[in-house]
A and B are shown apart, each in its own frame.
Chain A
Amino acid sequence: MMRALGRLAIALVLIFLVGPFLVVIGAGLTAGEVPAFPPRGLSLRWVEAVFAVESFRGPFVVSLVLAFGATLAALALGVPVAYALSRYALPGGEALRTLLFSPAIVPAIVVGLALLRHLVVPLGLPVLHALFLAHAALLVPYAVRVVGASLEHLRPDIEEAAVLLGASRARAFFAVVLPNIRGGILAAFILGFISSFNQVPASLFLTGPGVSTLPIQMLAYMEHTYDPSVAALSALVALGSIAVVFVAERALGIFRYV
């Protein structure tokens, strides 16, 4: 009985997880003129079409660089913050933790608007820099939360053991803390990268004629062209995300220490 229920639950989760993905792939592989599922005949014409669309190229590069840079920046800030929060009783630490751990306190769209109003317009901050700031800022809580979770599992006394064997505090961090939270850092990286790559609300006000991100450009494209190339592109992005996870897993041999 329990076992049957368990199987049912797993099946439902799989349907919700994988279902939309299959629909998008199907729609992108259609041979017809409009997105449809099930596809009307199979062809790669819309996948090829994606690569022909000039206006996707620049934004794709922007999104890629942005996701990479913003995620690294968020980790560079988030890992020390998570470490400090988990190891020291800081004044205001509890408040900061509550703030970081409450789900999205500031809507992303507000972040975008605020940067536009107060940095881009009055100070002439380049839009690309503003995009970077917005994305990085939105990712910091993720980084702190995910890395913080793996730090919680790590006993603080191993650092003390390293120090007593002669390591400086910094050395102890790199030698015995970092290797044990690699899984958390990688998970934060993947989460951050994918969430930045797919970020729409924060980017909405910070894109314009010169600079745009891929999701924003896809929205713009769909406003005047309704063909399956957007579905094909979505499928490509999804496959790309999977590739990122796969490569990261291979490269770092993660989850071995989690």
Chain B
Amino acid sequence: MSDAVFLRLSGLTLGYGDMIAVEGLDLSVRRGELVALLGPSGCGKTTTMRAIAGLIEARAGRIELDGRDITRVPANRRDVGLVFQSYALFPHLSAFDNVAFGLRLRRVPRVELERRAGAALASVGLDGLAARLPRELSGGQQQRIALARAMVVEPRLLLLDEPLSNLDARLRLEMRGELQRLQRGLGITMLYVTHDQAEALALADRVIVMRAGRIEQVDDAETIYARPRTGFVARFMGFETVFALDAGGLHGETGGVLQAPAGAPAAGALAWRPDGVVLGHGPHRGRIRAASFGGAKVEYLLDTSAGPVKAELPARAPRHGVGVEIPFDLPLATAAVLERL
């Protein structure tokens, strides 16, 4: 049963006024799955979530939840939860009452209500601040209240719009664990927007990369990390050097050409992560434009005839100075082979 499609968007088109924000979106999420939605600012992630929640109307297309067409079902009858990017806490209610709001609407008896709201507050580590008003809480605390408020009613589908963006690294890990418990324990299906590639890969069963209102690629976390299909997805996954490929070689933004590695396909594109570029020997030459220290490693930005190349070396390796010409290699073995830029 866990392979059944739980949420299905087909041909979903959304917009504001004359502007089309999302066009012909197809997407399915299986029951109990956690899917991460990744994409640059303004690509339509929030818009898509709002449509699934029923807060904006679809211009075209269908939304199905659990086999039922909910495209025209009002938002309050969808049983879809949303953690707002902006938190949207009720300013006149205490943290506890914010969390208890949905339980009160469901007429949950008082004893159970107090137990569940209390447990939700505890799960986000805020049981000590139950009586505070939202404006008396820090940004990260408000964000956790928003999370607890959406989780406590155990919706069929939970949409999370950058729910951990305002938390420090340690809290983020803790909250991630909490979300996973919720997903595994209660089997709640989740769609999760984040800007943090590592978070998406760590949490999600599958990752969707969106670009300008369309889906660029959907795959499980490991596949999308290792084998992005386009330059756009590759850049998102940390392949910072991307070149188009043809019979003549590798082409970048400067118009020049680098010789393609032996065995490369005749068309498409190739991409490398900084740690996949060999620095110090190889058939190509580049001039170091910038070097930046990043803890365990040093990142070098090289100007080459075809365009910039990002490489890195361990911090304990000998440093290269800015302006120096240095040989490098772009091996096929460490490249992602892309269909297009």
A-side residues, CB < 8 A to B, are 154-155, 157-158, 160-169, 171, 175-176, 179-180, 257
Whether A163 pairs with B84 at a CB distance below 8 angstroms is: no
- The complex places the Cα of A158 from the Cα of B145 at a distance, in Å, of 14
- The complex places the Cα of A165 from the Cα of B149 at a distance, in Å, of 9
A166, A171, A179: the one within 8 Å of B153 (CB):
A166
B-side residues, CB < 8 A to A, are 53-55, 75-76, 78-82, 84, 86, 88-92, 101-102, 105-106, 149-150, 153
* Closest chain B CB from A122 CB (angstroms): 47
Contacts of B55 in A (CB 8 A): 160, 163-164
- The complex places the Cα of A237 from the Cα of B169 at a distance, in Å, of 62
Whether B90 pairs with A176 at a CB distance below 8 angstroms is: yes
A154, A155, A167, A179: the one within 8 Å of B76 (CB):
A167
Contacts of B86 in A (CB 8 A): 155, 157
A161, A166, A171, A179: the one within 8 Å of B88 (CB):
A161
* Closest chain B CB from A198 CB (angstroms): 33
Q: Of all chain A residues, which has the CB nearest B105?
A: A166
Contacts of A169 in B (CB 8 A): 76
16 A-B contacts (beta carbon < 8 Å): A154-B91, A155-B88, A158-B90, A160-B84, A161-B84, A161-B90, A164-B82, A165-B102, A166-B76, A166-B102, A167-B76, A169-B76, A171-B105, A179-B92, A180-B92, A257-B91
Question: Closest 4 A-B residue pairs measured CB to CB?
Answer: A165-B102, A157-B88, A161-B88, A166-B105
20 additional A-B pairs beyond A164-B53, A166-B106, beta carbons within 8 Å, are A155-B86, A157-B88, A158-B89, A160-B75, A160-B88, A161-B82, A161-B89, A162-B101, A163-B76, A164-B78, A164-B82, A164-B150, A165-B105, A165-B153, A167-B76, A168-B76, A171-B105, A176-B90, A179-B92, A180-B90
- The complex places the Cα of A171 from the Cα of B101 at a distance, in Å, of 12
- The complex places the Cα of A160 from the Cα of B84 at a distance, in Å, of 10
Q: Of all chain B residues, which has the CB nearest A154?
A: B91
Contacts of B53 in A (CB 8 A): 160, 164
* Closest chain A CB from B328 CB (angstroms): 50
| Interface residues of A, dominant DSSP | helix
Contacts of A166 in B (CB 8 A): 76, 79, 102, 105-106, 153
Whether A164 pairs with B101 at a CB distance below 8 angstroms is: no
Given contacts A162-B101, A164-B53, contact A180 B91 (CB under 8 A): yes
Whether A167 pairs with B105 at a CB distance below 8 angstroms is: yes
- The complex places the Cα of A162 from the Cα of B89 at a distance, in Å, of 9
Whether A163 pairs with B88 at a CB distance below 8 angstroms is: no
- The complex places the Cα of A144 from the Cα of B81 at a distance, in Å, of 33
Q: Of all chain B residues, which has the CB nearest A156?
A: B88
Contacts of A160 in B (CB 8 A): 53, 55, 75, 82, 84, 88
Q: Of all chain A residues, which has the CB nearest B159?
A: A164
- The complex places the Cα of A176 from the Cα of B78 at a distance, in Å, of 20
Contacts of A175 in B (CB 8 A): 101
Given contacts A155-B86, A157-B84, A157-B86, contact A163 B91 (CB under 8 A): no
Whether B92 pairs with A257 at a CB distance below 8 angstroms is: yes
- The complex places the Cα of A28 from the Cα of B82 at a distance, in Å, of 63
* Closest chain B CB from A172 CB (angstroms): 8
Chain A CB count within 10 A is highest, among B75, B89, B150, for B75
Contacts of A161 in B (CB 8 A): 82, 84, 88-90, 149
- The complex places the Cα of A162 from the Cα of B149 at a distance, in Å, of 10
Contacts of B90 in A (CB 8 A): 158, 161-162, 176, 180
- The complex places the Cα of A166 from the Cα of B152 at a distance, in Å, of 13
* Closest chain B CB from A169 CB (angstroms): 8
* Closest chain B CB from A199 CB (angstroms): 34
Contacts of A257 in B (CB 8 A): 91-92
Given contacts A163-B75, A164-B75, A165-B149, contact A158 B91 (CB under 8 A): yes
- The complex places the Cα of A237 from the Cα of B75 at a distance, in Å, of 51
Contacts of B54 in A (CB 8 A): 164
* Closest chain A CB from B22 CB (angstroms): 18
Whether A164 pairs with B76 at a CB distance below 8 angstroms is: yes
- The complex places the Cα of A257 from the Cα of B86 at a distance, in Å, of 20
- The complex places the Cα of A27 from the Cα of B277 at a distance, in Å, of 93
- The complex places the Cα of A180 from the Cα of B150 at a distance, in Å, of 21
Contacts of A165 in B (CB 8 A): 81, 101-102, 105, 149, 153
- The complex places the Cα of A245 from the Cα of B84 at a distance, in Å, of 38
Contacts of B153 in A (CB 8 A): 165-166
Q: Of all chain A residues, which has the CB nearest B81?
A: A164
Given contacts A155-B86, A155-B88, A158-B89, contact A164 B106 (CB under 8 A): no
Contacts of B79 in A (CB 8 A): 166
- The complex places the Cα of A176 from the Cα of B89 at a distance, in Å, of 10
Contacts of B101 in A (CB 8 A): 162, 165, 175
- The complex places the Cα of A165 from the Cα of B99 at a distance, in Å, of 10
- The complex places the Cα of A179 from the Cα of B92 at a distance, in Å, of 7
Chain B CB count within 10 A is highest, among A164, A166, A171, A179, for A164
Chain A CB count within 10 A is highest, among B80, B88, B149, B150, for B88
